[in-house]
């Protein structure tokens, strides 16, 4: 190894913080086994991360101290050899606390670098989410359910060591498999986790993503004023009032104004699907939504503004009608279009759409609501990963 290798881990703030930290620390510990030098660090503390906001941890491995110091003199690496997305829905792009606009998950990947994703989806489906790049890169898929647990809760399902086990395969220059397994054994004191890492090395698949392949959408961004164009004095504009909604010949309801510079939907790993035929107009979803992401429609039902929804699931929890609101894996959607407009335009087609989304949604969990829930998922997780995810068995 004659150059610095940089790794970034993109994770959902708070929820996956420990997971990202373990991965970056494990990379550096393995590098030290081979006489290399490295550093692992995060970019945020708990406060700006918030629940589900995309955040990053980094690991930098270099052949010597001087080379490492040169790489550390940056806010974050300009390019990454490996980008790890610990939630496959992050492949749709991320908007973090530190910038305005949508950053593609593969934006930092250098030519020939690798995007590593934990997912039960095939590589071809994941590529559809990722924004196009002008140069080729590789996509590596570690088979298994993304590790997404509750607030500050670390779910020890071997996801961290499985990701570590895949890295020597996708980037042999980073560290050897023997060094990685030795570091895992020293750090976790578990032969079972060593076995999980080795199986992940064997099971991880890669494919090349060609130039222009993927989502052709141009990510949204904003022209910020900068300090040279700020107005005199200190002013904060108040939130403007909302306005009635017009659809066809109908005018009525209410759509509140929302922050135009933060869409919120990049925080989402699930989204609500609404069966308007079952809606009793009780107002609870509209009243209880912490982000005011429901619009009051002219017929007094409530439509989801998917750009404002962070996917918290409160609406599903408070809805008194069974099956009226159902949280569905974000990977099942390709846009943020109005569900209400789909329903109004063609109710039969919308009913079929709802049934398809709810009936074949991929497995996803917001966390563990009762003791033993994780154990119930082990069988399906093991089946998806060939036996390597559920505790390594």
Mean pLDDT throughout 309-314? 87
Closest CA to 119 of 78, 80, 166: 166
| Distances 171 to 18, 43, 112, 307, 386 between C-alpha atoms, Å | 23, 24, 10, 36, 23
| Confidence check: pLDDT of 99 > 80 | no
User: Percent of the chain having pLDDT more than 70?
Assistant: 80
What DSSP state is assigned to residue 31?
H
Mean pLDDT throughout 272-290? 94
| Confidence check: pLDDT of 391 > 50 | no
Residues 147-196 have pLDDT tens digits of 754 445 567 788 999 999 999 999 999 999 999 999 999 999 999 999 99
Confidence band of 129 (pLDDT split at 50, 70, 90): very high
What per-residue confidence (pLDDT) applies to 365?
55
User: Percent of the chain having pLDDT more than 90?
Assistant: 54
Which CATH number does 234-359 carry? Answer: 3.30.70.20
CA distance 63 to 37: 6
Closest CA to 159 of 181, 143, 171: 143
CA distance 171 to 81: 8
CA distance 339 to 317: 19
294-296 and 302-304 beta bridge pairing: antiparallel
Confidence band of 217 (pLDDT split at 50, 70, 90): very high
Confidence band of 385 (pLDDT split at 50, 70, 90): very low
Confidence band of 374 (pLDDT split at 50, 70, 90): low
What's the chain's Rg over C-alpha atoms? 22
| Distances 298 to 46, 281, 341, 349 between C-alpha atoms, Å | 41, 12, 11, 21
Angle at which helices 17-33 and 177-188 cross, to 10°: 120
| Confidence check: pLDDT of 266 > 60 | yes
Give me the half-sphere count of Cα atoms (radius 13 Å) on the Cβ side of residue 29. Answer: 17
The tokens describing 337, both together, are 């279009």
Q: Say if pTM beats, i.e. exceeds, 0.85.
A: no
Mean pLDDT lowest among 29-33, 44-48, 95-99, 255-259: 44-48
**Selected residue with higher pLDDT from 251 and 49:** 251
From-to residues of CATH 3.40.920.10 in the chain = 5-222
- Do 81 and 64 form a contact (C-beta atoms < 8 A)? no
DSSP lists the bridge partners of residue 16 as none
Percent of the chain as helix, strand, coil, to the nearest 5 = 35, 20, 45
From-to residues of CATH 3.30.70.20 in the chain = 234-359
Mean pLDDT lowest among 49-58, 222-231, 327-336: 222-231
Mean pLDDT throughout 357-367? 65
The tokens describing 43, both together, are 């970019």
- Per the prediction, the chain carries an average pLDDT of 84
What per-residue confidence (pLDDT) applies to 42?
83
Confidence band of 52 (pLDDT split at 50, 70, 90): confident
Residues 316-325 have pLDDT tens digits of 989 999 999 9
What per-residue confidence (pLDDT) applies to 345?
94
* CATH fold group of domain 5-222: Pyruvate-ferredoxin Oxidoreductase; domain 3 (3.40.920)
CA distance 329 to 311: 10
């Amino acid at each position: 190894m004659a150059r610095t290798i940089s790794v970034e881990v993109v994770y959902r703030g708070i929820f996956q913080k420990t997971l990202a930290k373990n991965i970056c620390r494990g990379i550096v510990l393995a590098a030290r086994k081979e006489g290399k030098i490295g550093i692992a660090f995060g970019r945020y503390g708990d406060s700006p991360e918030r629940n589900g906001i995309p955040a990053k941890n980094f690991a930098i491995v270099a052949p010597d101290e001087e080379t490492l110091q040169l790489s550390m003199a940056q806010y974050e690496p300009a390019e990454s050899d490996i980008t790890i997305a610990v939630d496959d829905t992050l492949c749709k792009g991320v908007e973090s606390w530190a910038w305005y606009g949508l950053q593609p998950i593969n934006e930092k990947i250098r030519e020939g670098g690798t995007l590593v994703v934990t997912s039960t989806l095939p590589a071809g489906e994941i590529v559809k989410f990722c924004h196009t790049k002008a140069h080729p890169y590789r996509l590596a898929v570690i088979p298994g359910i993304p590790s997404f647990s509750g607030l500050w809760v670390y779910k020890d399902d071997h996801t961290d060591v499985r990701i570590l086990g895949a890295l020597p395969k996708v980037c042999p220059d980073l560290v050897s498999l023997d060094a990685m397994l030795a570091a895992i054994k020293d750090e976790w004191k578990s032969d079972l986790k060593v076995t999980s890492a080795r199986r992940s090395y064997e099971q991880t698949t890669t494919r090349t993503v060609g130039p222009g392949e993927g989502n052709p959408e141009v990510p949204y961004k904003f022209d910020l004023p900068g300090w040279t164009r700020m107005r005199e004095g200190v002013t904060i504009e108040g939130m403007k009032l909302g306005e009635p909604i017009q659809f066809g010949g109908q005018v009525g309801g209410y759509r509140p104004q929302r922050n135009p510079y933060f869409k919120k939907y990049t925080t989402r790993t699930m989204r609500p699907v609404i069966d308007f035929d079952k809606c009793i107009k009780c107002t609870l979803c509209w009243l209880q939504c912490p982000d005011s992401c429901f619009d009051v429609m002219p017929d007094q039902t409530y439509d989801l503004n998917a750009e404002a929804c962070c996917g918290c699931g409160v609406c599903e929890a408070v809805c008194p009608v069974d099956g009226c609101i159902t949280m569905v894996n974000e990977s099942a959607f390709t846009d943020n279009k109005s569900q209400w407009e789909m329903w109004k335009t063609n109710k039969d087609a919308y009913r079929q759409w709802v049934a398809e989304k709810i009936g074949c949604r991929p497995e996803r969990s917001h966390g563990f609501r009762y003791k033993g829930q994780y154990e119930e998922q082990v069988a399906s997780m093991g089946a998806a990963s060939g036996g390597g995810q559920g505790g390594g068995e």
